[in-house]
Chain A
Amino acid sequence: MRFIFKTSYAQDIRLAKHGGHVFWYGLLAVGLLLAPWLLDEYWLAQLTFVLIYAIAGLGLMLLAGFTGQFSLGHAAFLGVGAYTQAILTNAGWPFPLAMLCAAVLAAAVGVVVGLPALRVKGIYLGIATLAFGFIVEEVLARWESLTGGNAGLMAGAPAMFGWTIDSSAGFYAICLITAVLATLGTLNLLRTPTGRAFIAIRDSEISAQSMGIHLARYKTLAFALSAALAGLAGALYAHKLQFLSPDQFNILQSIDLLLLVVIGGLGSVHGAFLGAIFLIAMPQLIALGKDYLPEAIGQAPGLQAVVYGAVLIAFVLFEPMGLYGRWLKIRTWLQLFPFYRQGMFKRQKSFQKSDRLK
């Protein structure tokens, strides 16, 4: 068991709390840097996808996990980012500039969606974002002169001033850099007054408002930042898939992103990454497990949906803090061994709180 004796505020908000953090995250960083040499092409591609989904997950985590506004249309921001990136790079823009534009445009769209969020709460907000997601999908399908409609749009490899990055290792490096910057940015945001305001809004809007937090401004900001991260992920997604069609950004994609943050663990930055690993690894695990199941079950097309749904139900019922919550329990068990008690992380039974009178 480690006890940290904090003597200054700077120590309290430091990102790496102690030597253990520095060591393990250093090791992780080294592992990720060496990944192109350690992994073969296929697994490197999967790792790239994990990073892309983690960036989008960070965005949704910021909104759902830290600000408490939940969005059922996040795939729309992903789509806006992806199409912006594809169109701009096809027009010959250097890719970092295009990525910036993708993020900014997605953020602008996020502000537009955030506007109803100022008036509606909870489930109404969910439905507003859902409706918005459908409208964006339809616009992507119908604005054929710009997006190619349902026929799809090709996106090339990332290129800049005549220098094209077409190796998978090079693209992995871009994703890694973006993911690291996004993570550091999010972590830093969460220890600034803005991030604290987000968390205050999540915990209680009324008390946040009483403390002088401008709800409208911070909610809009949360939407904008969240959408910007999703747009950034979308930009990378466009280069990764090299082919975009509107149905990649439908309601199922939005639900996948929600699945990611819930299974990863709402309200933790780790959760975005754990959830992304889950989302990418799950189809692989199902494919591996298929061979051991009887033919009728293993080869059925609905297997993946059943497993996803069952895992989601199991997590909500038994581990509402997600994978990260499970890890916290394991870590505490190890730290306290042999003194861990059953009820340490017991969920508090609360009265059913009424949402309706808000």
Chain B
Amino acid sequence: MQFVQLVISGVALGCIYGLIALGFVLIYKATETVNFAQGELMMLGAFCGLAGSTLLGFPFWVSVLGTLAAMALFGVLTERLVIRPILGQPAFSIVMLTIGIGYVARGAITMIPTIGTETHTLPVPYKDQVWRLGELVLSAEQVVVIGVTAVLCALLYAMFRFTRLGIAMQAASQNQLAAYYMGIPVKRLNGLVWGLAALVAAIAGLLLAPITFVYANMGFIGLKAFPAAVVGGFGSLPGAIVGGLIIGVVESLAGFYLPEGFKDTAAYIVVLVMLMVKPNGLFGEKLRKKV
């Protein structure tokens, strides 16, 4: 029973990793850049929700919707202002740029007097509720995380499968030039992808906030989402979620069954093994460059 309990808490954590990894993969597929500020986007989302529901005193659902809208806008603006001017430059420059964005976001939050340096709890309606299923104890936060992630995945799947926008995004991610020739506005699409990634990050932030706390350095959890994205195969959306779940469950089990110290490194050990055994990840496409 303890095992099931551990797996469930691992799955809940893995959903968060998976959502952040989803942001990496969305941006990577669209623009072939890796966004190291994804964790910071999540942190901004959590702070946004906090500001909405405590400072401004909105009801919970209003502040959630407001956060999502604000973060999506933030993502679009970031793409327009700093990413688009240097598209086509070496991937390394763009990685450094996103690291810079992360620094600025983290520093800017810390600079807000009295709020930035403290840890906060996000007041949610389902706080501290516990459901019992036989011997199993399910906390509402974990159930909500798993449920919301599942719904979000279904929505994203439907979007990529059935809407014009989603199909255009798929086309652009397969071959930008060809998509551009077909009349797809690739640049605008890239902006929207950043918006979508920021939105997903904000959802992750709002889901994570009740489990841990809201603080300026919570974005570092993004560094654990990299292994998730790699395990799933960096170019695959379902892979990101599956990778997140694997990392979350492994971490949860390692924290209990293995000696101290393995909990924090389990994700990285898994990813190193994965890179040695199957560098393209579980769902990654295997492509070779032909000269």
Contact = CB atoms under 8 A, between A and B. Distances in A.
A123 B234 contact: yes
Contact of A258 (B96, B105, B108, B260): B96
Contact of A355 (B32, B100, B226, B260): B32
Contacts of A297: 111
Contacts of A310: 100, 104
Given A124-B234, A313-B97, A320-B93, A141 B82 contact: no
B276 interface: yes
B62 interface: no
Interface stretch (A29-37, A126-134, A189-197): A126-134
A259 B279 CA distance: 28
A330 to B, nearest CB: 22
A116 B261 contact: no
B197 interface: no
Interface stretch (B4-12, B83-91, B123-131, B158-166): B83-91
B99 A132 contact: no
A303 B227 contact: no
Interface residues of A, number: 57
Interface stretch (B45-53, B201-209, B266-274): B266-274
Q: Is the interface of A mostly helix, strand, loop or mixed?
A: helix
B220 to A, nearest CB: 8
Given A116-B272, A131-B271, A313 B177 contact: no
A122 interface: yes
A135 B269 contact: yes
Contacts of B99: 255, 258-259, 309, 312
Nearest to A250: B220
- A131, A251, A312: which has the most chain B beta carbons within 10 Å? A131
B107 A304 contact: yes
A302 B96 contact: no
Contact of A135 (B109, B110, B265, B290): B265
B145 interface: no
A7 interface: no
Nearest to A354: B32
A241 interface: no
Contacts of A255: 99
A119 B96 contact: no
B116 interface: yes
Contacts of B1: none
Contact of A309 (B92, B102, B176): B102
Nearest to A266: B92
Contacts of A262: 93, 96
A302 B235 contact: no
Interface residues of B, number: 60
Contacts of A307: 107
B132 interface: no
B115 to A, nearest CB: 11
Interface centre among B105, B216, B279 (most CB of A within 10 A): B279
B275 A142 contact: no
Contacts of B70: none
Nearest to B259: A142
B151 interface: no
Contacts of A259: 96, 99
B110 A317 contact: no
Contacts of B216: 302
Given A306-B108, A351-B177, A352-B32, A301 B88 contact: no
A355 B260 CA distance: 39
Interface in A314-329: 316-317, 320
Contacts of A347: 89
A142 B261 CA distance: 7
27 contacts: A116-B275, A116-B276, A119-B275, A123-B234, A124-B234, A127-B275, A132-B268, A135-B269, A135-B272, A141-B261, A258-B96, A266-B92, A300-B113, A302-B111, A305-B103, A305-B104, A306-B103, A306-B107, A308-B100, A308-B103, A308-B107, A309-B105, A312-B99, A352-B87, A356-B235, A357-B287, A358-B289
Interface of A: 64, 70, 115-116, 119-120, 122-124, 126-128, 130-132, 134-135, 138, 141-142, 206, 251, 255, 258-259, 262, 266, 296-297, 300-313, 316-317, 320, 347, 349-358
Given A124-B275, A135-B269, A300-B116, 17 more contacts: A115-B276, A127-B226, A130-B223, A135-B265, A206-B291, A251-B223, A258-B99, A305-B103, A307-B107, A309-B99, A311-B100, A316-B86, A316-B93, A316-B94, A352-B31, A352-B87, A356-B32
